[in-house]
Structure 1
Amino acid sequence: MSTETPIIVFDGVCVLCNGWVRFLLRHDREARFRFAAMQTDAGHALLVAHGLDPVDPVSFLLVDTDRAWTDTDAIARVLATLGAPWSIAALLMRMTPRVLRDPAYRFLARHRYRVFGRHTACALPPPDAVARFIR
């Protein structure tokens, strides 16, 4: 699936993932990113298209045009677009060897429900951001 606007695929029932989306809605003032919960048809299709398990991807997925990023590379790429201080955090993240940061991220992703909790259903987007969510 090709897209002109970068899409972030997230776990719609994960408390941590929903917090990340709320953070991005607050700090992405230019509305560069769109969002798809992995529980939607669009999110499911994007995960499958990029080789991730659509039931439990254990990764963060960023799709931009015909390219995709996962894990901490995706997070750093998103943070870099937000400007300071988040772009500085992205730089620091990239300075940490991937061999250390990706396993730490995947450990957190695997245990996200146990550590942060799980909603019983996908949260509804805020009324002013509904257009940024795809189904």
Structure 2
Amino acid sequence: MKLETNPPVIVFDGICLLCSRWVRFLLKHDHAERYHFASMQSEKGRALLLTHGLDPDSPLSFLLVEDGHDYTDTRAIVKILHGLGQRRWRWLGHGLRLVPRWLSDPAYRFVARHRYRIFGQSRRCFLPTPEQRARFSP
């Protein structure tokens, strides 16, 4: 008998245009509909960030919660790409894994810290289509 488990949840910045594009990419390529999403502006997103020791008001907050474990920065990106299951995304994840974390994580944090200036932001959070809505937490 298999125990019911919660799906992996990605907490993202709902007003960041880069983050919203990342979510759209995942919705397009996650054919198994494995990942669920919560914006850091939502009640659930804020609660998950706090539970896992992250500041919900920090631009560095990006979180994957999967099987009771938390992943941030490039570790989260690699894990998500691998979880998409398609060979090309797994290879990209393996390639990112080859970059030492002492280099990749500061690069990630630099982009995260400046993402509004580089990519812009929206006045409203990303809104899923009616078909996608079940994968988003309120």
TM beyond 0.5 = yes
For 1:87 and 1:32, the matched residues in 2 are separated by: 15
For 1:123 and 1:19, the matched residues in 2 are separated by: 9
Task: Tell me which residue corresponds to 1:35.
Answer: 37
Is the Cα contact below 8 Å between 2:64 and 2:71 reproduced in 1? yes
SS in 1 for 2:8: strand
SS in 2 for 1:85: helix
Pairwise CA distance, 1:123: 2.1
SS in 2 for 1:9: strand
**One-letter identity of the residue aligned with 2:8:** P
- Gaps of at least 5 residues in structure 1 are none
Task: Tell me which residue corresponds to 2:8.
Answer: 6
**One-letter identity of the residue aligned with 2:60:** V
Task: Tell me which residue corresponds to 1:48.
Answer: 50
Is the Cα contact below 8 Å between 1:11 and 1:37 reproduced in 2? yes
* Structure 2 residue 105 is the aligned partner of structure 1 residue 124: no
**One-letter identity of the residue aligned with 1:74:** A
Normalized against structure 1, the TM-score is what? Answer: 0.95
For 1:60 and 1:11, the matched residues in 2 are separated by: 8
For 2:74 and 2:27, the matched residues in 1 are separated by: 19
SS in 2 for 1:75: helix
Pairwise CA distance, 1:4: 1.5
SS in 1 for 2:131: helix
Is the Cα contact below 8 Å between 2:14 and 2:126 reproduced in 1? yes
**One-letter identity of the residue aligned with 2:51:** A
- Gaps of at least 5 residues in structure 2 are none
Superposed, which structure 2 residues align to 1:86-105 within 5 Å?
86-105=89-108
Aligned length: 133
Identity across aligned pairs (percent)? Answer: 53
Task: Tell me which residue corresponds to 1:111.
Answer: 114
